[in-house]
Amino acid sequence: MQLLLAVISGGYAVGAALGWGTEELAEIMGDFGLSAAALLAAVSCYTYARAIDSRERPAWLLFALSSLMGACGNAVWGWYEVILGEAVPKPSVADFAFLCFAPPAIVGLLVLAKRPVTRAGWVCLGLDSWLIGGSLLTLSWSLALAHAARTAQSGAPGSVPRAALSLAYPLLDIALVSMVLVLHFRRSEANRSAVNTAIAALALTVLSDALFTSPLLSAEYQSGQLLDAGWFAGSLLLAYAPWGARRIHPNPGAPGLPRADRPVGRPITGSLPALTPYLAAAVCTLGILYNVVDGRKVDRVVVFTGCTVVLALVIRQGIMLIDNIALTQELAQKENHFRSLVQGSSDVIMIAAPTGTLRYVSPAAAGVYGREAEELVGAELATLIHPHDLGRVVHEVRRFLAAPPAEEPTTRIECRFESGSGEWLNVESTVNRHQGGLILNSRDVTERVRLQAQLQHSAEHDPLTDLPNRALFTRRVRQALTGRRAGDHSTAVLFIDLDGFKAVNDTIGHQAGDELLIEAAHRLQDSVRAGDTAARLGGDEFAALIQGDGSRDRSAREYQVQEIADRLRTTLSQPYRISGSEVRVAASIGVAFADPGITPSDLMRNADLAMYRAKAGGKDRVELYAPQMQAEVVRKAELAGRLRTALHDGEFSLLHQPVVSLASGEVTAVAAQARWRSAQGILFTPAEFLRVAEYSEGAAVGPDGRGGPPGGAPTRAAELGRWLLEEAVGQAAERHRIGHDVPVAVRMSAQRLLDLGPAVGGAVPLGSVEALLNRHGLPSGALVVELADSDPRVPFDELERRLAALRRLGVLIALDGFGSGYAAISALRRLPVDILKLDRGLVEGVVESARLHKITAGLLRIANDLGMQSVADGVDLPEQVMALRAMGCTHGQGAAFSGPLDEYRLRRALVRGTFPVPGGAAQPALAGGSSGGSTAIHRGSHNETPVPPA
């Protein structure tokens, strides 16, 4: 755009210098060419004014009007010279249009000028304008205007209009030049490039006008001469001003940086506004000297104008002197204010030269750094920063100084700073630019850094053992899998669980349990290698991250990790000395390796699954993860989901297996059993879905491989047990109403029995045994509760009280699985038991194994001596019936008599009343027991109470 502008203007100048070839073409280009250029400027300024919405719009509209007047004047001049072929009369309409060119331009420049904020500023603006205009008027009057004025006084015909016209042009040009100069020194910051271009265009036009009105050229001027090139270039430059400058500077409306951040200009450029009054006085003096040196009488106009210029200069200097005094006082007040702020601030304020030398340090340095400010002044900033932080600080400072100040006015740097005592303090500094150097506002943040470090440590470490917690352990596993050793698949994760820890808490207290955990953590930390990580995940669960050694031999790596895990297991299983007592726990450890492409969560889940497999396999052992473990978990999870749906969709049915007297074959009781026929037609036995129910209750595996927490909403096993009890009691009551007075036996765990007991205050749960007996009206002695082998975690005292309360209601108590549990004798000694039910494992081998035969005979002798009924579970063969009857067992339950029956077949069996007994009727070989067929219930001691079998 600029190149095109220069080519067009240069082409016009060359054509004018060569006379355009013909006189006619010269007149056309000198008149209509100038008119077209001025019209283009008018259209350009008008269009730009319509496109913007700011305080500049009136100025560009006035510039458009000014150019339009110039276009009209040149058009009228061409009408006379080119169209009519006549000389342009003086004065004419063209002169009127040319005279109207300057006033709109002057007003437009006033609009663009920076508006003073005080009354003194407005006075100074007016004085500056008069100083420039008066000095130019003095010089012009001395050179040419005095001659025009004398011509007008001569009284010649037509001399007054011509003289007035010759005076009007230079006077308006003087006013326009004054405004151009004033605006140049007082221009607004907004759209500076466009305004500067417009000022240059008007200045070029005024210069051409001044040459036109000079006595040397005014008499000989003709259209198409070289002087027209000035007007032509001025019009094109004004047309280009808003658009070309806007294209070069994409954001002309935004000033960008404050004055303090702008590059410092040349000193002489900043001094020109202050020198303007003196330059104007010098020009005025030149006008007077010209008259004196030329030997002419000094004109009164020159004297008057010179006096007013000098007076204006004196007034202006007085105003400036008053302003300077006020500014000096204000500056002193602000300096005192800021000095008080700096010296009273608790932060240390330092000013560093571009070389890094400290030029100023506030007095707060003595309290913060323990070093006097005078001691630090002149020191190199780099010598005070910790060597490990120096490189980072230098890099940040260089990056900050290279960044544009508008985008990043400040930056923040934190480093260690040497104090007077030699201690390294953590210092946080806000850094600003200052004359090529830096201003640093620094404060001591050592305590904050220490607190942050403590909080970070607390957030990532277990508060009891001070080992890394699950969050930190997970992050280190992720780093091991994704860091520089990501391809090392020999990395392994160990999950560790302390077997028997809950018993420690329950027996000797939680304080002792905490001491055991602390000791176990110390042993674990001492047993792992330096590069490995030991962590406590929560409760009695620990973990270890064994970093790989880059080995690609999987078997060798597994052997090595197995050795580490065995060593950890042995170490953690050693006796603990807690509060003067020796405590023993074991450790179950699961190991998983970082296979290719595995994620941290999957790796930790695999180790957790392996640890659960170790616990299920007998505890106190190490188990390596295998893919089928995850498949088994998925299968159990799917089965647990189907079980949950089955409970709500009524897919369970209740069957009863007769309990038969081994002496007479009479049905003395029925044992309630649940069966699940799923929607897919699969029939699950009690052992299968009870395992699933327990799995969903206490070991449900979520997305992270962890078991579900106990408590909360009712579990699947609780719902299934409640359904079994309600169905068994309801159907037994219905059978009693039609005359089948046979007791029903329901198997329940000790914990479930306690959960269904009365709450504190005597409130009876809706699903409790008491509530069901009252609701269905089941008579006394018609319900037998088969208590599963006692759980050591269940308190015996509470269980004893609960069973005694049930016996007072007529509920009979059977000890199920007798002969298999470690707590059977203890339960038999303390609990009020009526019936002993032999474990199926004993019954299965009673014929083949002489050892089991003797054990079973001894257990039956105990039951008979205590006056209890005995029931053998799982009697499937006739040989078992005869052997058990010979040993003194009174009742049996199994396939030798009948399998589980539905309600219809059960009632038919009860109507028949007896089953055939292999070997015929026989009397027990051991004395002391009651008749096997007796079903009467007598309250009293165990020795005197014959009870029906269950």
CA distance 818 to 871: 10
Residue 97, amino acid: A
Which helix (H) or strand (E) segment is 197 a member of?
helix 192-213
Tokens at 3, concatenated: 């190149």
Q: What is the CA angle 389-395-397, rounded to 5?
A: 100
- Minimal CA–CA distance to 797: which of 769, 829, 830? 830
Let me know: does 231 contact 205? Beta carbons within 8 Å: yes
* pLDDT on residue 816: 85
Burial letters 796-824, b for 16+ CB under 10 A, else e = beebeebbeebbeeebbbbbbbbbebeeb
Strand-pairing partners, residue 431, are: 411, 440
Instruction: Report DSSP state, residue 942.
Output: G
Burial letters 776-792, b for 16+ CB under 10 A, else e = bebeebbbbbbbbbbee
Q: What is the CA angle 733-739-741, rounded to 5?
A: 65
Q: Which residue stretches of the chain have pLDDT < 70?
A: 113-117, 121-122, 125, 128-192, 206, 209-211, 213-220, 244-302, 339, 341-344, 483-489, 550-552, 678-717, 759-764, 766-767, 789-793, 819-824, 920-950
- 3-state secondary structure (DSSP) of residue 234: helix
CA distance 540 to 338: 62
Tokens at 618, concatenated: 């007998």
CA distance 817 to 786: 9
Helix then strand then coil, % of the chain, to nearest 5:
55, 15, 30
Phi, psi of 225 (to 5 degrees): -80, 175
* pLDDT on residue 234: 83
* pLDDT on residue 275: 61
Instruction: Report DSSP state, residue 325.
Output: H
CA distance 384 to 382: 5
Angle between helices 300-344 and 146-153 (to 10 degrees): 140
Taken as a whole, the chain contains a residue count of 950
* pLDDT on residue 359: 87
- Minimal CA–CA distance to 182: which of 321, 277, 258? 277
pTM value? 0.49
CA distance 190 to 911: 112
* pLDDT on residue 159: 45
Q: Are strands 348-352 and 358-361 parallel, antiparallel or unpaired?
A: antiparallel
- 3-state secondary structure (DSSP) of residue 817: strand
Let me know: does 657 contact 671? Beta carbons within 8 Å: yes
- Minimal CA–CA distance to 188: which of 103, 255, 129? 255
Question: How many alpha carbons lie under 13 Å from residue 219 in its C-beta half-sphere?
Answer: 3
CA distance 512 to 596: 43
Tokens at 581, concatenated: 């007592």
Residues sharing a CB contact under 8 Å with residue 440, sequence separation 6 or more, in sequence order:
348, 349, 350, 351, 352, 429, 430, 431
Let me know: does 71 contact 35? Beta carbons within 8 Å: yes
CA distance 490 to 504: 36
Burial letters 91-120, b for 16+ CB under 10 A, else e = ebbbbebbbbbbbbbbbbbbbbbeeeeeee
Q: List C-alpha distances in Å: 636 to 169, 648, 693, 864.
A: 106, 19, 10, 43
Q: List C-alpha distances in Å: 596 to 482, 543, 626.
A: 11, 21, 15
**Dihedral sign computed on CA atoms, order 378, 380, 381, 384:** negative
Phi, psi of 445 (to 5 degrees): -120, 30
Look-up of token digits 């270039």: 233
User: What are the E-state strand segments in 422-561?
Assistant: 424-434, 437-444, 492-499, 533-538, 541-546
Look-up of token digits 């609009």: 111
Starting at the edge strand found earlier in the chain, the sheet holding 437-444 runs 358-361, 348-352, 437-444, 424-434, 410-418
* pLDDT on residue 941: 32
Tokens at 59, concatenated: 């100025």
Residues sharing a CB contact under 8 Å with residue 675, sequence separation 6 or more, in sequence order:
652, 653, 654, 655, 683, 684, 685, 686, 900
Instruction: Report DSSP state, residue 901.
Output: B
